[in-house]
Amino acid sequence: MIVILFFLTLFLASIAAGALGSIVGIGGGLIVIPILTLFLGVDIHYAIGASIVSIIATSSGAAATYVKDRITNLRIGMFLETGTTTGAIIGAAIAAYLSATILEAIFGTILILSLVPLVRKIGEEYPTKQELKGLAKKLNLRGDYVERDGRKIEYNATSPGKGLAGMLVAGLISGLLGIGSGTFKVLSMDLAMKLPMKVSTTTSNFMIGVTAAASAGIYFARGDVNPLITAPVALGILIGASIGTRLLVKARNTAVRKIFALVLAGSAIEMILRALGF
Amino acid sequence: MNLRDPNSMNRILGIVLKTGVVLSGVIIAIGTVLFLTNHSLDNTSAYLAYNPVLIPHGSFPVSLSSISSGLTSLDPSSIIQLGFLVLLATPVARVALSLFLFAAEKDRRFVYLTATVLAILLFSMLATPLIPLFNG
């Protein structure tokens, strides 16, 4: 393939990945990795390097908008980030002793199983307001944001312990498999901590960038971040993320959850196919 | 801008993030245009070979010294790598500035919590992987 064609293909795919990723709180690796390995025949190491770049670009690109709109809950994100970063370091340290195939199979199965509780609350626009108690009260894990029609949405987080445990697992998976595991982060916040869906996805957006940055150095120094691949990915993702963020602030929580459920199903299938050796 | 006022801290955070994102986008775009003007019709296989034995790869720079020497000769891949490093700095800046944000909110617990996240982040970014980056 000639360079210009490779560039354009990857650039356009990355715009789509950036838009989708910024809406549902994932890094876009779900789209970027298979395009690179299956369609463009790129080595998996470069594909994972590109995925790290796409995660950081999605996160930072989306953040520039979300900080202004204040949907992201920085407190909840920072609290949970202690779990993901710790998990990621442990995961990277023990990766050599575990089989990626088994991990992918387990992760894929968890994602499929989590579709059940997710689908059960598919029509829920706002969670019923929880009582702020225990650790959540101590850390003041509550928040509010203003919808486009001017309504102020207030919420309290529940079960921060469960959420943190979920993030530790998400971090472990990131460290072990080199993926952002944004799906798992959104699931933990949506199902365990009962945050509004848009708060879960934008807060996940913040978190995936920090987790990916923690492991970016090693991929960069190893030579997995190839500029020919990362340039169209980064540029496409930044444009896509600015489109996605504009859509998200106007979107209904139910719409975001439906898109997320589809992405989750796709992500689970991809994991299981990977485990089966495709 | 008052560093002790949470609202202006939030604004500063937004400005820093936006500047980082736009700056890295512009740098990467410049590198891309420079690359494409000379290599649009090349075959990609020359740039995509992955050989772990040859790491660090000859075709693009992965250390700060090789990137900076590449920049002086306007080497496109060095410019793109620089753009990526700027992008990489934005989440780090976001956590670091949040530290000031929580300090402005006089929320001591979260200052400690954020300091922990920043420490873990910097540790895993700098501890092992970047040592070859600085030496190479």
ipTM: 0.90
Are A64 and B117 within 8 A, CB to CB?
no
Q: What is residue B128's predicted lDDT score, i.e. its pLDDT?
A: 59
Q: Which residue has the tokens 């500063």?
A: B12
Between chain A and chain B, the number of residue pairs with CB atoms below 8 A apart is 186
Query: Closest residue of A to B78, CA-based?
Result: A227
- Summarize pLDDT for A22-65 with one digit per residue, the tens: 999 998 888 898 899 888 988 888 888 899 999 999 999 998 88
- Summarize pLDDT for B69-105 with one digit per residue, the tens: 999 999 999 999 999 999 999 999 999 999 999 999 8
CA distance B133 to chain A (A): 6
Q: Which residue has the tokens 């998996």?
A: A44
CA distance A145 to chain B (A): 15
- Indicate the average pLDDT of chain A: 90
Q: So where are chain A's domains?
A: 3-124+164-275
Q: Do residues A90 and A172 touch, judged by C-beta distance below 8 A? A: yes
Record the pTM. 0.91
Are A231 and B42 within 8 A, CB to CB?
no
CA distance A118 to chain B (A): 30
CA distance A47 to chain B (A): 11
Using CA atoms, how far apart are residues A85 and A211, in angstroms rounded to an integer?
Answer: 6
Q: H/E/C letters for each residue in chain A?
A: CEHHHHHHHHHHHHHHHHHHHHHHCCCCHHHHHHHHHHHCCCCHHHHHHHHHHHHHHHHHHHHHHHHHHCCCCHHHHHHHHHHHHHHHHHHHHHHHHCCHHHHHHHHHHHHHHCHHHHHHCCCCCCCCCCCCCHHHHHCCCEEEEECCCCCEEEEECCCHHHHHHHHHHHHHHHHHHCCCCHHHHHHHHHHHCCCCHHHHHHHHHHHHHHHHHHHHHHHHHHCCCCHHHHHHHHHHHHHHHHHHHHHHHHCCHHHHHHHHHHHHHHHHHHHHHHHCCC
| pLDDT mean over A205-214 | 90
Query: Closest residue of A to B36, CA-based?
Result: A4
Given a cut of 50, the residues of chain B with pLDDT beneath it are 56, 134-136
Q: What is residue B135's predicted lDDT score, i.e. its pLDDT?
A: 45
> Cβ of A53 under 8 Å from any chain B Cβ?
yes
> Cβ of A55 under 8 Å from any chain B Cβ?
no
Using CA atoms, how far apart are residues A217 and A253, in angstroms rounded to an integer?
Answer: 35
Q: What is residue B136's predicted lDDT score, i.e. its pLDDT?
A: 41
| Cβ-Cβ contacts under 8 Å, A6 against chain B | 44
| Cβ-Cβ contacts under 8 Å, B128 against chain A | 218
Query: Closest residue of A to B32, CA-based?
Result: A231
Nearest to B41 among A2, A63, A230 (CB): A2
| Cβ-Cβ contacts under 8 Å, B87 against chain A | 53, 56-57, 60, 234
- Summarize pLDDT for A78-108 with one digit per residue, the tens: 999 999 988 888 887 787 777 778 888 888 8
